[in-house]
Amino acid sequence: MASLGDSGTPAAPCTRRMVVGAASITFAVTLLRLMLELGKGPAWLAKRDAGGAGALIGIAWLPLVFGPYFAYRLGTGAETTWALLKRLLKALVVYGWSARVPVVIITLVALAFGWDTHFNKFGPDNEAMALWKKIAATLGAQLIFWSLIWTPVVGGLAGLLFHLITRKSAGNSAATNRTQPAS
């Protein structure tokens, strides 16, 4: 049950705890993906090609789940959609970094040990690409694109859509409750 803030409205949950929970799930999925790739699991589960796209196990789609979850947890019902969206985007950026820093570390280890995973493959020029370029590409992709663009945009849109749908349906059920006679 949410505690009440000074204004009598429900207080927002601790963003840190919420993000740590989501990041823990994401880390578990990342480790599962790594184990499947190292164990030569089926490509439909964990593709080892550069980028790893098309595999069922991955973290790129998780903002579609955590965006609505964060919106639900952050929404108090007393704030504007704009205020919720700002808090949601902040939480998604923090989540994005906490989800992608382990990927950076795994990629650096995969590069050092020459693993056969998608983490350390960089397209058709992989063999010719200098190590520093691979590291720069990893940092740019993980800490800028995936953390600051993909996660907040995709998660933010999913969370905003969830908020707008549930706010509208909650408003409709409240109006229905007001018009029904007491039994």
Arithmetic mean of pLDDT, 19-35: 98
Listed range (71-85, 116-130, 146-160) with the worst mean pLDDT: 71-85
Asked if pLDDT for residue 56 goes beyond 80, the answer is: yes
Who wins on pLDDT, 179 or 100? 100
Note the pLDDT of residue 91. 97
Alpha-carbon dihedral of residues 21, 24, 26, 31, nearest 10 degrees?
-170
Note the pLDDT of residue 7. 45
Arithmetic mean of pLDDT, 169-174: 60
Asked if pLDDT for residue 26 goes beyond 80, the answer is: yes
Tell me the pLDDT tens digit for each residue of 69-109: 999 999 876 679 999 999 999 999 999 999 999 999 999 99
Arithmetic mean of pLDDT, 17-41: 97
Burial class (CB in 10 A: 0-12, 13-18, 19+), 86: middle
Average pLDDT value over all residues in the chain: 88
Rounded to a whole number of angstroms, the CA Rg of the chain reads 20
CB 153 within 8 A of CB 62: no
Note the pLDDT of residue 77. 65
Other beta carbons less than 10 A from residue 159's beta carbon: 30
